[in-house]
Amino acid sequence: MRAKLKALFRLAVATDDEAVQAADGLWTTRCLHCRTRLQVAADGEALGGSSLEHVVPQAWFGRRAAADLTAQVGEDRDDARNLAVACRRCNQDKGKGPDAAGPQDARAHAVVAALLAKRLTRWRPLPDRSTH
C-alpha cells in the first residue's frame, strides 16, 4: 500500500471518535455506512475489508452543486473531516450510486449530506502535539 494512502488511513482513524487504538497500535472502528467492525494497522495498512472513504466524493470538489458540502470540509479533498473508514462493499456501492450520479442529483446529494453529517458527529480533533 502506498505511503500516502497509509497516512490518510491513519488520519481517518485518529480523527474518528469511534475508533479505539489497542496497546499494539491496532485501530478498531466501524464502517461509516453499515457499522461493520473494521481494523487498520498502526502503520495505516488496511486490514480485512477496510477501505478509505472520501465522504464527499473527490470528483465533487470544485462543482457548484456540491459547494455546500465541500464548504464543510474545506478545499482539500483529503481533509480529515472528509475521510472515513468504510467496508469495501459499502464504499464500492457508494461509488457506483451516489458518487457516480453527481451532486446535481438530489438523492445523491442527500445521501452524501447524511454521510457527512454522520462523519462530523464522529469527529475527534487530532491531539495537539506541540505541547508534548
DSSP the chain: --HHHHHHHHHHHHTBTT-EE-TTS-EEEE-TTT--EEEE-TTS-EETTEEEEESS-GGGTT-GGGHHHHTTT-S-TT-GGGEEEEEHHHHHHHHHTHHHH-TTSHHHHHHHHHHHHHHHHTB-PPP-GGG-
Determine, yes or no, domain membership for 63: yes
Determine, yes or no, domain membership for 118: yes
Into how many domains does the chain fold?
1
In this prediction, residues 116-124 reach a mean pLDDT of 97
pLDDT, the chain, mean: 94
Task: State the residue range of the domain holding 113.
Answer: 3-122
pTM value is: 0.91
Please say if the pLDDT value at position 30 is more than 50.
yes
Determine, yes or no, domain membership for 127: no
The per-residue pLDDT for range 81-111, each reduced to its tens digit, is 999 999 999 999 999 999 999 999 999 999 9
